[in-house]
Amino acid sequence: MDAPLIVTDDPTIIDELQRLAAAAGVTPALAPDPEAALHAWNAAPLVFVGVDLAKALARLSPPRRSGVHLVGYGGVPDDVFRTALALGAENVAELPRSAGWVAELIADVGDATPHGSMTVGVIAGSGGAGASTFACALGQMAARSGPAVVIDADPLGPGVDRVLGLDGHDGIRWDALCQTTGRFSGRSLRESLPRRDGLGVLTWYPGPQGSLQAFAVRNAIAAAQRGHQTVVVDLPRSVDPLVEELVARCDRVFVLTVPTVAGLASAVRLCARFRDPTSLRLVVRGDRVRADAVSRLTTVPVAALMPDQRGLEEAIDLGLGPVRSRRGPLGRTAVDVLAALAPLRRAA
């Protein structure tokens, strides 16, 4: 059973809870009497017990479990709190005043992390390495097998919507999310972003950019993980507490670099600034270099050597995105990297 259980015979409570569930894309099960509630009591991920049936249900002594909430409409009697203790309820909600909080609980049920969800970070180890381009390529290839999103956390980057040719598509950007203090569901985020062919983007509108708000980033990442199979985060080169937190939320972080003395030296310095480098892997732009030599120098394993791709700038300028064919160097590298990450995918 993957739907909330509503235990009540009060039509007002039923209508309000069903309305909140519909907004979250969830269809709840209804038990109009205590005896019917016992059949689904342990299986339901979430249980709402109306104050009208709470005492009768408590007399049946259902097994103790988490996720039980008593619900009343327009006020609750004082003795209901004693009944809540008898049922092992976590709290008592008064509708419609607590509607927002109840909606979040229901949204959590509908937003279980998709099977095989994975979060990947991409950061430039040296200037001009093409981190944003590679992040977009990963998003393009990941979207072929399930919902994917590229989150632009670099306010000084080119904008992942421009790289992917989505800058003309409608949808919310960071500008709007940084003005939102409430929690949003994975589905609502997925459906509100600019997207094409299963790939969404979260970035900025053109023009001067403000700084990212930590609460907005946390909400966006959490909602993206609940609503997508693959989340790709385009990280800024600055290593501050917020970037450290983003890296900690990633299953793998790819550091893009070029195989020059200056490029590798810059990558070494960047990698050394992270407290936990175990999730880091290098992607080196160029195939005329030994991966083992790069690994010894940087102390970070090399995930891929990626030859330069012809016509890349033209493809981006035409709004086609960086990957025009999976047989090209960028497409092949993205596919190989994603395939290698399969063991890291988190089961629901």
The answer to whether residues 130 and 40 belong to one domain is no
Domain termination site, one of 76, 110, 144:
110
Return mean pLDDT, the chain: 89
* d(C-alpha 338, C-alpha 341), whole Å: 5
State mean pLDDT over 8-14. 97
The answer to whether residues 136 and 165 belong to one domain is yes
Neighbours of 241 (CB within 10 A): 8
The residue range of the domain holding 318 is 118-344
Q: pLDDT tens digits, residue range 253-276?
A: 999 999 898 999 999 999 988 888
State mean pLDDT over 126-145. 93
* Cα four-point dihedral sign 89, 92, 96, 99: negative
Return the pLDDT at 116: 64
Minimum mean pLDDT range among 108-117, 133-142, 318-327: 108-117
The answer, yes or no, to whether residue 201 has pLDDT greater than 90, is yes
Helix (H, G, I), strand (E, B) or coil at 199: strand
The answer to whether residues 130 and 274 belong to one domain is yes
Query: Of residues 25 and 175, which shows the higher confidence score?
Result: 175
pTM comes to: 0.73
Return the pLDDT at 28: 94
**DSSP state, residue 117:** B
The answer to whether residues 123 and 254 belong to one domain is yes
Return the pLDDT at 113: 52
Minimum mean pLDDT range among 31-40, 183-192, 220-229, 241-250: 183-192
* d(C-alpha 223, C-alpha 186), whole Å: 4
Return the pLDDT at 181: 60
* d(C-alpha 174, C-alpha 197), whole Å: 21
The answer, yes or no, to whether residue 328 has pLDDT greater than 70, is yes
The CATH number of the domain holding residue 125 is 3.40.50.300
**Please, are residues 324 and 315 in contact by the beta-carbon 8 Å criterion?**
yes
Query: Of residues 281 and 347, which shows the higher confidence score?
Result: 281
Domain termination site, one of 110, 127, 156:
110
Long-range contacts of 310-316 (CB under 8 A, 24+ apart): 312/133, 316/133, 316/162, 316/163, 316/165
Q: How many domains are there within the chain?
A: 2
Return the pLDDT at 134: 97
* d(C-alpha 339, C-alpha 131), whole Å: 19
Phi, psi angles (nearest 5°) of residue 151: -105, 120
Single out the residue of 272, 217, 224 nearest to residue 246, CA to CA: 217
Return the pLDDT at 348: 40
* d(C-alpha 181, C-alpha 100), whole Å: 12
Per-residue confidence band for 297, with pLDDT thresholds at 50, 70 and 90? confident
Return the pLDDT at 82: 93
* Cα four-point dihedral sign 247, 252, 256, 260: positive
The answer to whether residues 186 and 294 belong to one domain is yes
Return the pLDDT at 320: 86
Return the pLDDT at 128: 85
Return the pLDDT at 77: 85
Return the pLDDT at 114: 57
State mean pLDDT over 28-53. 95
pLDDT over 70 percentage in the chain: 95
Give the up-direction half-sphere exposure of residue 34: CA atoms within 13 A in the CB hemisphere: 14
State mean pLDDT over 241-260. 91
The answer to whether residues 58 and 122 belong to one domain is no
* d(C-alpha 139, C-alpha 338), whole Å: 10
**DSSP state, residue 346:** B
The answer to whether residues 152 and 242 belong to one domain is yes
**Please, are residues 271 and 255 in contact by the beta-carbon 8 Å criterion?**
yes
Return the pLDDT at 112: 57
The answer to whether residues 50 and 156 belong to one domain is no
Q: pLDDT tens digits, residue range 119-128?
A: 999 999 988 8
The answer to whether residues 244 and 311 belong to one domain is yes
* d(C-alpha 198, C-alpha 192), whole Å: 13
The answer to whether residues 270 and 337 belong to one domain is yes
* d(C-alpha 264, C-alpha 290), whole Å: 13
The CATH number of the domain holding residue 38 is 3.40.50.2300
Return the pLDDT at 115: 54
Return the pLDDT at 347: 45
